Structure 1
Amino acid sequence: MNQPDPTLPAMPGHRLARGVSRMLRSMDHAVLTEFVPSRGLRVDVISMGPKGEFWIIECKSCRADFMGDRKWQGYVEWCDRYFWAVDCDFPSELLPPDTGLICADAYGAEIQRMAPETKLAGARRSKVMRDFARCSALRLQGLTDPEAFSAAAF
């Protein structure tokens, strides 16, 4: 009898994020999930590439998930490239054609359409870089010393 994989995320969106993160890591990107670039915004995946470029990827598990998302346009101004990640059964014609498209599952992903590049302004890039570094360091410390502070700190 097959046992379920205990490392597999239960939520479909988290499964997509895992596959996207694996793909990005294979491209030498540093990856964070559930990142807050600005108050009121929380992106599913953000990555920093080897040249300091930032990509944001929003994972959509179904049509209703996409149709209910009203904040995504606010995410575009916090990255150099913006992508949607969906599974192979998602109706991709719903997604704006001027954004990137990634087909993903829990084990990997593939870029179907490269997102257009819109370079971040210097001051915005500096803020994203600092916040990305701080969030990464706090999460790492939380893994190595979970009793040092509460999970709400990051």
Structure 2
Amino acid sequence: MAPEFPSTPLTATDVLRGTCRWLLRAGVSPLAEVPLAGGRRADILGVDSAGRLTLVEIKISLSDLRGDRKWPDYLDHCDRFFWAVPAGLPLDDLHTPAFRPDETGLIIADRFDAESVRDAPWRALNAARRKAITLNLARRAAQRWIGLIDPESGLIGLD
């Protein structure tokens, strides 16, 4: 039986929160809204202790999912890719060839937690690209942290 939508619709922030909790338990340190080369922005990008990159694209509605034509670009920025959707969202589309179920994982999330219902396969990213993305991720995380403890820093040097 498919899960039902909660009485209060879930937002992207709710799905983000639950998904990040799942990633942390899976040994991945996540960061939200990470700019990527080529002008794209990852909803969540995380790194594990082996330096492997996991990218998660959040979709909270069928129209959002069906209208996204840019998502394949994300595959060049990670070692594995997941879709994260709210509990109750119909999943049929995500099992079709257009959404590459053999190359993508699937996470069902709410505001408190998440569960992987389809694991994402690992595909080794080019070493030079991994280094550039990882350095960007680390710098972005450090700049956000300093902005939290010293909001007056003006995030000097943020690119």
TM-score using structure 2 length:
0.85
Aligned-pair distance for 1:153?
A: 3.4
- Separation in structure 2 between the aligned mates of residue 133 and residue 152 of structure 1, nearest angstrom: 14
For 1:112 and 1:106, how far apart are their aligned partners in 2? Answer: 17
Deviations 1:66-119 (A, max 9, x none): 112121000011000000001221121211222100010111101110112111
Task: Give the secondary structure class of the aligned counterpart of 2:37.
Answer: coil
1 or 2 for the larger relative contact order (CA 8 Å, sep ≥6)?
A: 2
Q: 2:140 is matched with which residue?
A: 135
The unaligned stretches of length 5 or more in structure 1 are 1-9
Q: How does 1:2-13 map to 2 (within 5 A)?
A: 12-13=11-12
> TM (normalized to structure 1)?
0.88
CA drift of 1:11 comes to 7.1
Structure 1 stretches of 4+ moved >6 Å: none
Q: Which residue of 2 aligns with 1:3?
A: none
State the Cα RMSD in Å. 1.9
Select the residue among 145, 154, 157 that pairs with 1:149: 154
Structure 2, gaps ≥5 residues long: 1-8
Q: How does 1:1-154 map to 2 (within 5 A)?
A: 12-95=11-94, 96=99, 97-98=101-102, 99-150=104-155, 153=158
Q: Number of matched residues?
A: 145
Q: What is the CA–CA distance in structure 2 between the aligned matches of 1:151 and 1:67, rounded to whole Å?
A: 38
Deviation sequence 1:109-143 (CA, Å, 0-9, x none): 01110112111001001101110110011000000
CA distance in 2, matches of 1:130, 1:56: 15
SS in 2 for 1:147: helix
2: CA distance, partners of 1:75 / 1:153:
22
Conserved 8 A contact 1:142-1:151: no
Identity %: 37
